Amino acid sequence: MGQLDVLVHLRRYDGEPAAARAACLLAARTPTHLHGLYVAPIPPAAFTSPETVAVLVHESDRRFQEARDAGAWWQGLLQAHAAAGEWHVALADPLDAIVHAARWCDLVVVERPMQNPDAPVGWGLASRSVFDAGTPVLVVPDTAQLSSLGERVLVAWNGSREAARAVHGALPLLARAEQVLVLDGGNEAESGAMLQLPRFDLAAALKRHGVRAEFRRFAPGGGSARATDLLDAARAAQADLIVMGAWGHSRLTELVLGGITRQMFQSSDLPLLVAH
């Protein structure tokens, strides 16, 4: 596979945000072109007076113009990590801008605020990006201690469409990883009665792509214990990245009843490469 185009959504453009750090670590392991994106939000029009709207529009335009000048910061950060890329600024709803720019990218990197999480039940920008971007998304907790990314990878596998899409998106990293551990949950739907479907051999597929992986059976507990068990396994393996499917069934059902995607977004201190 050739060079990856990676979209990096940045909530700020100073220092080294977690999303930028993760993207640069990604670029150190595989040929990557990093598209930095900052979104100056459009002002809300509802419930405001015309005078207030004018002030908000002026403020949004000021932030947009200031962000356009931050291209030098982005290029300096990339040069410090021997990476290449370009700088984009949008004046839009953040989700709309991410979904638009994701059309020409292979992977999206978004930061997940953990100390003051936005919409922790699953309607925040990170989870909505996973649902709407159409490409795999690397969700990076802003508190993550990032010294490596993709050296030791844990794959949570259950045979679902979402898990398969996540693995496909992660292949460039898996092929270069020093260690890949696949936890096989064994939940792939069985053919029954007269319905006979071909079975997918993940081990053989990974081997064809040059990925050396260890497989272990995985039987997590129910409820929130599933996320706890998965995180415990990742830490035991000293993984620096978890690859998994996201929102495997109705997102509304997961929000009401709880689901492993929601729990992992809320509690994981490791980056998650996920796909819907």
Per-residue pLDDT of the chain (276 residues; tens, 9 = 90+): 579 999 999 999 999 999 999 999 999 999 999 999 999 988 765 555 666 767 778 888 899 999 999 999 999 999 999 999 999 999 999 999 999 999 999 999 999 988 764 545 456 899 899 989 999 999 999 999 999 999 999 999 999 999 999 999 999 999 999 999 999 987 655 555 667 888 899 999 999 999 999 999 998 665 556 889 999 999 999 999 999 998 765 555 555 444 788 889 888 999 999 998
Domain with 46 in it: what CATH number? 3.40.50.620
Tell me, what's the pLDDT at 272?
Answer: 97
Tell me, what's the pLDDT at 127?
Answer: 87
Tell me, what's the pLDDT at 185?
Answer: 87
Which are the contacts of 181, defined by CB distance < 8 A and separation ≥ 6?
A: 152, 153, 154, 155, 213, 214, 216, 233, 237, 239
Are residues 132 and 15 both part of a single domain?
A: yes
* Phi-psi label, residue 223: left if phi above 0, alpha if psi -120 to 50, beta otherwise: left
Tell me, what's the pLDDT at 17?
Answer: 96
Reported pTM: 0.89
Are residues 92 and 160 both part of a single domain?
A: no
* Domain count of the fold of the chain: 2
The domain of 124 spans 4-141
Are residues 9 and 137 both part of a single domain?
A: yes
How far is CA 10 from each of CA 69, 237, 271, rounded to the nearest angstrom?
15, 30, 16
d(CA 6, CA 150): 15
Tell me, what's the pLDDT at 198?
Answer: 87
Distance of CA 157 to the CA centre of its chain: 17
Helix (H) or strand (E) holding 111: strand 107-112
Tell me, what's the pLDDT at 121?
Answer: 46
Tell me, what's the pLDDT at 56?
Answer: 76
Tell me, what's the pLDDT at 248?
Answer: 61
Tell me, what's the pLDDT at 114?
Answer: 82
Domain edge (last residue) among 110, 141, 172: 141
Q: Does residue 147 form part of some domain?
A: no
d(CA 221, CA 239): 21
Q: Does residue 105 form part of some domain?
A: yes
